[in-house]
Every structure is written in C-alpha cells, then in structure tokens.
Chain A
Amino acid sequence: MDGKGKTIPVLTVLAAVVAIWYACVVWMNAPFEYDKAERAGTEIGFSQLVSNTMTQERPVLPAAHQVAEEMYKTIVLKKFTSKRSLVYHGWITLSATLLGFAIGTALGILLAVGIVHNRAMDKSVMPWVIASQTIPILAVAPMIIVVLNAVGLSGLLPKALISTYLSFFPVVVGMVKGLRSPDRAQLDLMHTYSASTAQTFWKLRWPSSMPYLFTSLKIAIAISLVGAIVGELPTGAVAGLGARLLAGSYYGQTIQIWSALFTAAILAAVLVMIVGLAHSYVLRRMGQKPEGAAT
C-alpha cells in the first residue's frame, strides 16, 4: 500500500462518516423539534426541520459545524488564561500527560534493564508486570486522586502518577523485548571483544532496542493522555479536558462535550505524531531505514 493509493479511499470514508453524521443529526434531533412545533400548535416543514436541527442550543447530537464553531471560539477567540478557553484546559491535561509519560518511561526503562540483567527479577517481576496488564488500572484512578488530595498532595502530580502507572507497562514489555533482541552471534562478538556488561549494554543492547522503545512510546503517550483525562474526572471538575467532559455531561452541554472530545483527539494525534517523528529521526541518525524496522 503506497501513500498515493490511500488518500482517496480515506477521504471517501471520511466523507461518508460526515454524511452519516449529518443524517444522524437530523434524525436524532428531530423529536425535539416535532415536540416544540406541536406545543406551539404549528406544523413544521421538512426544510425547516433540517435547518432547525442543526442550530439547537443543546442538541442530542451536535452538527459537525457547531462543534467546529465552538472549538474555534474556545481555542482561538478566548484568551488563553480564561477558564473557558480549551487551550487553558488542554494545557493542564497536557502537562500532566507529559510529566506522567516522562516518569513512566524512565521507570519502565529502569525496570526493563533490571529484568534483562537479573534472572531472579525476570522470573519474579515479569509475570506480575504481565498480570497487571489485565487489571483495570483506570478504576484505581479516582481513588489515587482523592486519597492523595486527602494527604495534601494535589494539582499536577496525582494525575501524572496515573499516567505513569499506565504508561510504564508498555515501555517495560517493549524494552525487555528490545534489549533481548540482539542475537547470539552479536552477543558472542561482544564477548570476543571482552566487552564488559556496561559496554555490551551501551554499544549493542541499547541501540538495538530503539525501534521497540519507540513503538512502545507511541502506545505509552496515547495511554498517558487517557490516564490524565480520567484522572481529572473525580477532582470535582475543576480544570482540564476531563473536567470539561464531566461538566458538560452534568449540565447537558453536548457541544462542549464534543469540542473537548475533539480537542483531546487532536492532542493525542499530535503527540503520537511527535513520537513518530522522533522515531524516524533517531533511526535515520543510526543509519537504519525507518520503515520495517519497527515491529
């Protein structure tokens, strides 16, 4: 599949999604309009109905242009420091995400190094790392937040800790695989050079783990963002994209929910893209082809 062959199908599917969206807008918002017309004692024509469903104050499903308009208003027009600006809320979520991602990555790499170099750690810790993947960690999120708040730790760190918790698993798993990826012959070669463990690590294991690391980092940053958003839910809806979602659902502000959702989606896409760019940059510096190197 080359790049050229993808654009038209993707655009077609996107167009279909938008078309279905607008059809759903009319269909889902129509009952409200019929209701209103009936109460006013008037008949409503079809064209009137269609145009009405797209301009409701609190629609069941807002139209795409309403969401875009709201996003433009809250991102571009509002001042960044304003409580109603999505940039302000997005930044709060982003900072927690990045802090958690950084701690999680560091922790994950350290654990992976330990697991690769120590047999006991490999056999005892690794099964638990895998088992803990099956546990719904996000369920712990509200408790961590509230409990840490109770002992006086509030603000950025509790949210970042949830992101850390979520993001370190993919890094551990990917890095263990990556640090073990050099084959027997390469390790034997290092051995014939009488390289120390540290030298083998820095000159062979670390470089060959890079494709695995970046593949894991892509998962880790996306999941960090999810962690930060969920971490914002129980704080009483103060600030952040998660708080916007919760506040929107309390007050039935559907347009606000959708615009927060789209902002989060754009943020996730940009973050994953940045990691992807870093990935291909590092691999190019190492003299590898970016494509096909990652699994």
Chain B
Amino acid sequence: MSWLVVFAVMFWLATWAVNEWLSRRTFASHSVQKTVNLLIPLLFGVAVLVLWEGITRGLEVPRVLLPPPSMIWERILNSLPILWADFQQTFLKAVLAGYVLGCGSGFLVALLCDRSSFLKRGLLPLGNFVSALPIIGVAPIMVMWFGFDWQSKAAVVVIMTFFPMLVNTVQGLSAADHMQRDLMRTYASSWWQTLIKLRLPAASPFIFNALKLNSTLALIGAIVAEFFGTPIVGMGFRISTEVGRMNVDMVWAEIAVAALAGSAFYGLVALIERTITFWHPSIRSRRI
C-alpha cells in the first residue's frame, strides 16, 4: 500500500510547484489575479487533505490515532441529526446568547467608562489584566451556579467576551482625534450627537476587532464549559464522551462542524465589518 504514500507525496510536491509558479507570476487582469490568489491557498488545503489521506491509508496509521479525511466525511454524512442537535445546543443557544450578552454589556460599560474618566482609569487596567487570565477556569463555577443546561455555558461566554469588548471599545472611543472632536464642539453638538456621528464610526474598526476576536472565544468557551457537565447533548459533551469510547472519527466530525461554524461566524462578522467600515484604509486597499 505504500504507493499511496508515494502518490500523496508526489501530489503534494506537484501542488507546491504549481503554487510556486502561480505566486511568482503577476496577472494583468484583476479578476484573474483575484482567482489565483484564492486558488493558491485552496490548492494548499487540497494538498494537505490528500497527503493526510495518503499517509493514513498508505502507512496504515491506527484509526484511533488519526482517521483519514474520507472516513471523517462519511461519519459526518451518517450522523447529521446528532451533529445538528449538538450544534443547536452549543452554538445556537449557548454561544449566540452569551456572545450577544457579553459583547452588549461590554459595549455599555465602555460607554459608561467614557462618561466617567474615574471609572475608565480604574476599570481599564483591570480589564487589560483580566484579558490575560485563564478565564475559562470559571466554567466549573458557572456550571455549579446555573445548572447543566446551556445557561451556564452562556454565562462562561459572557465573562469571556466582556473584557475584550470593553477594552477595545474604550480604546476605539478615543480614536477620533482632537481636531474632529473640536469641530463637533463648534457645531454645539451634544455628547450623544458626537458619539453617534463621529466617535462610534471612528471606533468601529476597534469594535469589530473585538467582535471578531470574541466570535472565536465564544465557541471555545462554550465547548470547554461543556467538559464540566452537560445534559446529554452538545459539541463539548460529544467530544469528551466519544473520546472516552475511542470513536475518534466522531470527534473529528464534531471538530469539523466546530471549525466550520467558527469560520462562518467569523466570516459573517468580517462581512458586516466590510460593509460598515468601508472607509477604513485596511479595507479600501483590498478593493483595488
């Protein structure tokens, strides 16, 4: 069976060569260049999958250690109802509720901080400090307080997403420079008018930065919190029990769903960011 390995390695080298060639060339037309820029990472991803498949099948790597991608795919197709139920429990209930509450409260507290510089000077260093702490550790406490169901996971997500949102929003609210703020003052605009017309738009890159960061954190928080106790459904629950039963392909299927959900969530936030902060240099430059 070792020809499979040889084939996989050859395929890998071939795609590498194609990538090398593609990345050295510059294309006249923008649309072609765009497609090529998409194609290169895609080819790399396909090469990784082929190499993975070839090595696991060719060298007969134990299924427990690393199942081939085709087996994981088969498992995903065979257990769609279970995956959907887990996704519903973890993502649609815990992650979304926690994300909205955490980001929302972080944003509101940031506005409060903005009104009172005393609160800002007191909370901001603490917020920065807390961001470095292993907050995920509060999971067992939340499970104890809010029970096994999704509410406790949402609580963990709230705590995890609160501080990045707070710190970034406070930072973003001071992004509008003095000239612009003075201009608003000469217009005799109120604090609210300045906030909505000048400072929130100026802060939005920072806010979206936190939203993107939090989309990842929220999923991690919910899954890890499920390791501490759940009803018999949920992505974290499935991962920890199927690992115990050595059904590694099911675990990988669950991970694939988590990865897909995480990427889609991140992508959605990034998409909203592009439509709202279209004026920002980092987005304008990409359009050319």
A185 within 8 A of B: no
Neighbour of B215 across the interface among A134, A234, A269, CB < 8 A? A134
Complex: how many Å from CA A264 to CA B136? 11
Contacts of A9 in B (CB 8 A): 118-123
Neighbour of B144 across the interface among A11, A60, A269, CB < 8 A? A60
- Complex contact A234–B119 (CB within 8 A): no
Question: How far is the CB of B217 from the nearest CB of chain A, in Å?
Answer: 9
- Complex contact B228–A246 (CB within 8 A): yes
- Complex contact A139–B255 (CB within 8 A): yes
Residues of B239-259 whose CB lies within 8 A of A: 239-240, 243-244, 246, 248, 251, 254-255, 258-259
B20, B137, B235 — which one has the most chain A CB atoms within 10 A of its CB? B137
- Complex contact A151–B228 (CB within 8 A): no
Q: Which residue of B lies closest to A15 (CB)?
A: B122
A198 within 8 A of B: no
Contacts of A242 in B (CB 8 A): 137
- Complex contact A261–B137 (CB within 8 A): yes
A77 within 8 A of B: no
> How many residues of A are counted as interface, with CB atoms below 8 angstroms from the partner's CB atoms?
59
Residues of A206-254 whose CB lies within 8 A of B: 218, 222, 225-226, 229-230, 233-234, 241-242, 245-246, 248-249, 252, 254
Contacts of A11 in B (CB 8 A): 122
A5 within 8 A of B: yes
Complex: how many Å from CA A119 to CA B22? 10
Contacts of A5 in B (CB 8 A): 121
B133 within 8 A of A: yes
- Complex contact A143–B129 (CB within 8 A): no
Contacts of A143 in B (CB 8 A): 239, 243, 248, 251, 255
B229 within 8 A of A: yes
Question: How far is the CB of A95 from the nearest CB of chain B, in Å?
Answer: 16
B224 within 8 A of A: yes
Contacts of B147 in A (CB 8 A): none
Neighbour of B24 across the interface among A1, A12, A119, CB < 8 A? A119
- Complex contact B137–A13 (CB within 8 A): no
Neighbour of B227 across the interface among A133, A233, A257, CB < 8 A? A233
> How many residues of B are counted as interface, with CB atoms below 8 angstroms from the partner's CB atoms?
65
Complex: how many Å from CA A222 to CA B236? 23
B126 within 8 A of A: yes
- Complex contact B134–A226 (CB within 8 A): yes
- Complex contact A136–B140 (CB within 8 A): no
Contacts of B223 in A (CB 8 A): 136, 138-139
- Complex contact A136–B132 (CB within 8 A): no
Complex: how many Å from CA A138 to CA B23? 33
Complex: how many Å from CA A248 to CA B229? 13
Question: How far is the CB of B207 from the nearest CB of chain A, in Å?
Answer: 18
- Complex contact A134–B23 (CB within 8 A): no
Complex: how many Å from CA A222 to CA B137? 13
Neighbour of A265 across the interface among B133, B143, B254, B258, CB < 8 A? B133
Contacts of A125 in B (CB 8 A): 44
Complex: how many Å from CA A246 to CA B229? 10
Stretch at the interface among B1-9, B35-43, B277-285: B35-43
Query: Closest 6 interchain pairs by CB?
Result: A9-B122, A249-B140, A13-B122, A124-B44, A127-B41, A9-B121
User: Can you report 6 A-B residue pairs in the complex whose CB atoms are below 8 A from each other?
Assistant: A10-B126, A124-B23, A142-B243, A226-B136, A242-B137, A272-B132
Give me 18 other A-B pairs in contact (C-beta within 8 A), A123-B41, A124-B23 excluded: A11-B122, A14-B126, A60-B144, A119-B20, A119-B23, A124-B41, A124-B44, A133-B216, A134-B259, A134-B265, A136-B216, A139-B220, A143-B243, A151-B62, A230-B224, A233-B227, A257-B140, A265-B134
